[in-house]
A and B are shown apart, each in its own frame.
Chain A
Amino acid sequence: MSVRNFGRGFVLPVDAKDGSFGESIMTTLHTRFGPGVDVDRGLDFGQSQQQQQGQQRRINVGENERAVSVAAGAILALQGLSRGSIVGLLTAGVGGMFIYRGIAGHCGLYEKMGLDTAHSGEGMEEREISEQGIHVEQAMLINKPAEELYRYWRDFNNLPAIMTHLISVQVQDDRRSHWVAKAPKIAGGQVEWDAQITADEPNLLIGWRSLPGSQVDHIGQIRFEKALGDRGTNVHVFMDYVPPAGKLGHWVATLFGEAPGRQMRDDLRSFKRIMETGEILTTIGQPRGTCTGEGKRQETL
């Protein structure tokens, strides 16, 4: 990655992938406002000039996330401006920040938090994923012995039956597998990754991680722990993952009810239902009324 200095302390990071995009927009802004206006400082609040001068702004926002950022920013800005109130102007301002962040690929907040979503997919270390990713953890008591639960889970071909977001799992060999899952539309609708088993202790635990080139970098583990008395098994799952559209993607997905914590809970509950009763009850297909005199079959849960 190279860095170009536009003079007056204005630094625009450019690399082969993003250079033309960032450069052309920034040049336009620069031309419009003239050399007397510091575009960068005008958009980036809360940082002193001294701090900025000594520092190179590197791209730390991932590609998908940048697109999301621009889109979300544009919506916010338009909504804000159309309102015309003080709140509206604030909204527009926040929208502007998102647009900037998307175009420039740099997020001051991420920098302060030590985050970088631009360089995921390049084979992050497990440590990096657990430090930067989103941590999700759930537990579920299942009234079956650990052996049975382990056996079902270890055959990854079973998992699409209990995980509504999973489209398919192809087991390639004893340790490797290829996964395809539904994702929020805003993150492209579908994500794929290759996974490798990192730990496998029969009837106790299974650990895995995504392999370089995956769209979702993550590590995960499921543990089977005998519950007290005759209650069966406590199943614990944890995952650290770097979502396809970064933290913002996570935030947007949460707004639309696709929060991974809830997803994991729903999936574990389906696992429990299959193991304890052999089926997951549905109401899709049952009769319902329409209040117009003629009923219909229910189409969704």
Chain B
Amino acid sequence: MKALTWCAPYKVSVENVPDPKILNRRDAIVRVTSTCICGSDLHLYDGYVPFMTPGDIMGHEPMGIVEEIGPDVDRNRINVGDRVVVPFPIACGSCFFCRRQLYSCCDNTNPKPQHGDKMFGQPTAGIFGYSQLTGGYAGGQAEGLRVPFADVNLQKMPTDLPDHQLVFLSDIFPTGYMAVEHAKPQPDDTIAIWGCGPVGQFAIRSAFLLGAGKVIALDDEGRVPNRMKMAREAGAITVDIRDEYVYERLLEETGGIGPDICVDAVGMEAHGFSLDAVYDKVKAMAMMETDRPKVIRQAIHCCRKGGTVSIIGVYGGFSDKIPTGALMNKGLTIKTGQCHVHRYVPELLEHIRSGRIDPSFVVTQRMPLSQAPEAYKLFRFKQDESIKIVLDPAA
């Protein structure tokens, strides 16, 4: 089958690889019908995530049709022919964490837990196509995908909705939703969201779905005007991080108290125009810092006393100069995590069904899987032309 493999920073290629097969008794094989490139794939593409090895198959946002199931898969839940979305974290459904719906923290699905022990203190769940640190699983930017614990992970989908409305349930819709939901928004809350990429876009719309009073979206108007326009279309007020004083604007919009919830939907490769952003860039280039926490700093600084900073953008290593003084003295709460996708799929599917949201608004390109290297280049270097790319393995 065709699959997209990582070879080196900025170098990915489509190769012919052997078809996936059942390796564990509760596995299923899914024939992929749609698969996307995620903003977090760019962290791998740019070489920001260690633990990538040449030949790793990428991709963690697929959906498709179940083609084969292992002998121990619960047939009351999953059968051959089912149309399914595949959540990016792999869960076992039985451990301490899965029982508490913390699926991305599952204890039993990472075949290489030693890396996580060393890097994070405890290993996290396996993730499809997302480096050896999350288990080294072959990813979903391919014609076929093997999914472990199929009866826990595969999310059955109705047949009367098109792929492009459903495929984002694999990651970015639940991720954007959780970014706001786990901060428990109130109707009179103002929510500030850094980053108008795909996850930021879903966070903005989720904030309204969850009943937030006011949403402020922050990004670079000069660089990504289309993304800012998309945020305004959803009802957000936009703030240009290049030309405006972010802190002053956020206070002005909130009667001087600061946003109740501040969402970082950017992550480890944040750009910025202030002194600390330059400091991060230099340190990262000297390999003394892996993550550039520009957004976290600004969010902590701006957040109202007693408010919540929600970190949903991906970080992988270590950061400097986190303003712990402001964090502690203002009594802030930090909420964060890789999304526990399985927890949110039923309610989000309901939002889609009822027409309260059509997730396909975010799609800017559809391309064949065979053109995935070009798609990566476009998504990485022409961010304003390209907000979300869906790849079609059959095309």
Chain A residues engaging chain B, CB cutoff 8 angstroms: 141, 143, 231-232, 262, 265-266, 269, 272-273, 276-298, 301
Lowest 10 A-B CB distances belong to which pairs? A295-B17, A289-B5, A287-B17, A291-B7, A289-B55, A289-B15, A287-B18, A286-B138, A276-B94, A277-B92
B3 contacts A by Cβ under 8 Å: yes
CB distance from A110 to the nearest CB of B (A): 31
| Proximity bits, B88-108, A CB within 8 Å = 1, else 0 | 001011111001000000011
CA distance A152 to B55 in the complex (A): 39
Q: Which of A262, A266, A276 has the most CB of B within 10 A?
A: A276
Return the contact of B20 from the options A143, A232, A262, A286 (Cβ within 8 A): A286
CB distance from B256 to the nearest CB of A (A): 44
The A/B interface has a contact count, at CB < 8 Å, of: 122
- Of the listed stretches B35-43, B109-117, B271-279, chain A binds B109-117
A296 CB contacts on chain B under 8 angstroms? 17-18
CA distance A301 to B135 in the complex (A): 9
Chain B residues engaging chain A, CB cutoff 8 angstroms: 1, 3, 5-7, 13, 15-21, 23-26, 54-57, 72, 90, 92-96, 99, 107-109, 111-114, 117, 126, 135-138, 142, 146, 148-149
Residues B107 and A287 in contact, CB atoms below 8 Å apart: no
Residue of B nearest to A275 (CB): B94
Residues A281 and B25 in contact, CB atoms below 8 Å apart: no
B109 CB contacts on chain A under 8 angstroms? 281
CA distance A285 to B54 in the complex (A): 17
Return the contact of A287 from the options B6, B7, B26, B138 (Cβ within 8 A): B138
Residues B111 and A283 in contact, CB atoms below 8 Å apart: yes
CA distance A282 to B112 in the complex (A): 9
* Chain A binding surface SS class: loop
CB distance from A259 to the nearest CB of B (A): 11
Assuming the A-B contacts A285-B21, A287-B20, A297-B18, are A143 and B13 also in contact, with contact meaning beta carbons closer than 8 angstroms in the complex? no
Residues B113 and A269 in contact, CB atoms below 8 Å apart: yes
Return the contact of A262 from the options B17, B19, B114 (Cβ within 8 A): B114
* Chain B binding surface SS class: loop
Residues A279 and B24 in contact, CB atoms below 8 Å apart: yes
CA distance A283 to B24 in the complex (A): 9
B95 CB contacts on chain A under 8 angstroms? 143, 272, 276-277
Assuming the A-B contacts A286-B20, A286-B23, A287-B3, are A281 and B55 also in contact, with contact meaning beta carbons closer than 8 angstroms in the complex? no
B135 CB contacts on chain A under 8 angstroms? 281, 283
A280 CB contacts on chain B under 8 angstroms? 24, 111
Assuming the A-B contacts A262-B114, A289-B5, A291-B55, are A231 and B72 also in contact, with contact meaning beta carbons closer than 8 angstroms in the complex? no
Residues B96 and A279 in contact, CB atoms below 8 Å apart: no
Residues B17 and A288 in contact, CB atoms below 8 Å apart: yes
CA distance A223 to B90 in the complex (A): 30
Given A276-B95, A277-B94, A290-B15, 4 extra CB contacts under 8 A:
A143-B96, A277-B26, A281-B109, A296-B17
CB distance from A170 to the nearest CB of B (A): 28
CB distance from A291 to the nearest CB of B (A): 4
CA distance A295 to B7 in the complex (A): 12
Q: Which of B15, B94, B99 has the most CB of A within 10 A?
A: B15
Q: Jot down 6 A-B pairs with beta carbons below 8 A, ordered by A.
A: A278-B25, A278-B26, A282-B24, A288-B55, A290-B5, A295-B3
Residues B23 and A287 in contact, CB atoms below 8 Å apart: no
Residue of A nearest to B144 (CB): A287
CB distance from A99 to the nearest CB of B (A): 34
Assuming the A-B contacts A143-B99, A288-B56, are A281 and B126 also in contact, with contact meaning beta carbons closer than 8 angstroms in the complex? yes
A284 CB contacts on chain B under 8 angstroms? 23
B16 CB contacts on chain A under 8 angstroms? 293-295
A262 CB contacts on chain B under 8 angstroms? 114
B94 CB contacts on chain A under 8 angstroms? 143, 276-277
Residues A291 and B111 in contact, CB atoms below 8 Å apart: no
Residues A301 and B136 in contact, CB atoms below 8 Å apart: yes
Residues A281 and B54 in contact, CB atoms below 8 Å apart: no
CA distance A164 to B56 in the complex (A): 25
A294 CB contacts on chain B under 8 angstroms? 15-17
Assuming the A-B contacts A288-B5, A288-B55, A290-B55, are A276 and B114 also in contact, with contact meaning beta carbons closer than 8 angstroms in the complex? no
CA distance A281 to B90 in the complex (A): 11
Residues A279 and B25 in contact, CB atoms below 8 Å apart: yes
Residues B5 and A272 in contact, CB atoms below 8 Å apart: no
CB distance from A2 to the nearest CB of B (A): 49
Residues B19 and A287 in contact, CB atoms below 8 Å apart: yes
CA distance A88 to B17 in the complex (A): 48
CA distance A279 to B108 in the complex (A): 9
Residues B99 and A283 in contact, CB atoms below 8 Å apart: no
Return the contact of A266 from the options B5, B15, B92, B114 (Cβ within 8 A): B114
B25 CB contacts on chain A under 8 angstroms? 278-279
CA distance A15 to B281 in the complex (A): 66
Residue of B nearest to A277 (CB): B92
CB distance from A297 to the nearest CB of B (A): 5
CB distance from A78 to the nearest CB of B (A): 32
CB distance from A143 to the nearest CB of B (A): 6
CA distance A286 to B138 in the complex (A): 7
Residues B23 and A283 in contact, CB atoms below 8 Å apart: yes
Assuming the A-B contacts A141-B96, A143-B96, A288-B57, are A293 and B15 also in contact, with contact meaning beta carbons closer than 8 angstroms in the complex? yes
Assuming the A-B contacts A269-B113, A295-B17, are A286 and B56 also in contact, with contact meaning beta carbons closer than 8 angstroms in the complex? no
CB distance from B206 to the nearest CB of A (A): 32
CA distance A293 to B136 in the complex (A): 20
CB distance from B113 to the nearest CB of A (A): 6
Residues B111 and A301 in contact, CB atoms below 8 Å apart: yes
Residues A291 and B138 in contact, CB atoms below 8 Å apart: no
CA distance A141 to B94 in the complex (A): 13
Assuming the A-B contacts A143-B94, A289-B56, A290-B55, are A281 and B24 also in contact, with contact meaning beta carbons closer than 8 angstroms in the complex? yes
CA distance A272 to B98 in the complex (A): 14
CA distance A301 to B110 in the complex (A): 11
